[in-house]
Amino acid sequence: MIIKRLLTACIALYACTNIFSQAGSFISIPTDTRSVAMGGTYLATNHSNAIFTNLAANSIDNKTLDVSLSYRPWVSTFSDDYNIYALSAFYSLSHKHKIAFGYRSFNLPKYTLLDDNGNNPSSFTPKENTFDIGYAYKISDHTALSASLHYLNSEYGQGYDANTIFLDLGFKSKYKALEYGAMVRNIGGDMEFDDGSVALPLTIGVGLGYSKELDIANAFNCSLDISHISGANDASGIGGGLGLEYQYKSMLSLRTGYQFLDESIGLNYYSIGAGINLGALSCDFAYLITDNALKNNYSLSLSWTLFNKKSIEE
């Protein structure tokens, strides 16, 4: 009973909705800062941390290596102790075969508990994490498929722990300046706790991206995602995002976006952000504009990317 009340209280704080009041639901929170700044869009656009979203979207360009570290506080209006760390690495084995690895950690504040009689205090720090591995196959210069396998572990103390394995399937293709992608996320078993099970937020989505070079120095990118999200307690709905990015000489990027979700599954917000590219090194920042629990939320990412201008031979 004590642990059940704790789980309800601490998870409700980090989202305040049905879908995002479930154990393990942090896996649906974007960690790539470029995606966050562009309204949480990721299905068709190239981005770091793709192992956590659509790995196929990162597998058409001739990247040989992409290592990314991201930090994102979560509902800091309640406590500074809610935060997400994400580390990922993408490597191109050959022109067609790509692999990726990742690790995510969601940390919550330390809690002190009393038993039903108000005695025997104890404390612990709840946390969740994932270990991730993915493979993408480049069918052609314009199309890729991917599969990512994830191990999720949730620890809420006093034996109230659970783990599961789940799968993401992704697709990405493009025609001239138009990109399009689709994926199914979080296919797997429920989180089996001592007093019941919790379903992962199954997500099915499609996305579009469009790029336009105005001249040698200026370019625009825009993106649109639409998804259906479902989870425990019959909570389900439609969500998505709109994103816009301006790039100057591939060195400076300015971004904005809007995420929209049904009230039963999430929170809406406007987003702004910027990125600086210094050769292989990139630093990105995103900030959310809203009056809900995500007020003043931000995201930071640092990535190191190497490109091969020539196609990598098998």
Q: pLDDT tens digits for 185-217?
A: 999 888 887 777 788 889 999 999 999 999 999
Over 50: is that where the pLDDT of 64 sits? yes
Over 60: is that where the pLDDT of 128 sits? yes
Over 60: is that where the pLDDT of 107 sits? yes
Over 70: is that where the pLDDT of 15 sits? no
Q: How would residue 288 be classed by pLDDT, with cut points 50, 70 and 90?
A: very high
Over 50: is that where the pLDDT of 138 sits? yes
Query: Model's pTM, two decimal places?
Result: 0.86
Segment 161-186 mean pLDDT: 94
pLDDT of residue 11: 43
Q: Which CATH class is domain 2-109+125-307?
A: mainly beta
Over 90: is that where the pLDDT of 244 sits? yes
pLDDT per residue over 256-271, tens digit each? 999 998 887 888 999 9
Over 70: is that where the pLDDT of 16 sits? no
The CA-based diameter of the chain, rounded to the nearest angstrom, is 71
Can you tell me which residue has the tokens 């979207």?
57
Q: How would residue 3 be classed by pLDDT, with cut points 50, 70 and 90?
A: very low
User: 305, 69 in Cβ contact below 8 A?
Assistant: no
pLDDT of residue 310: 56
Q: Given the DSSP bridges, would you call strands 252-261 and 236-248 parallel, antiparallel or unpaired?
A: antiparallel
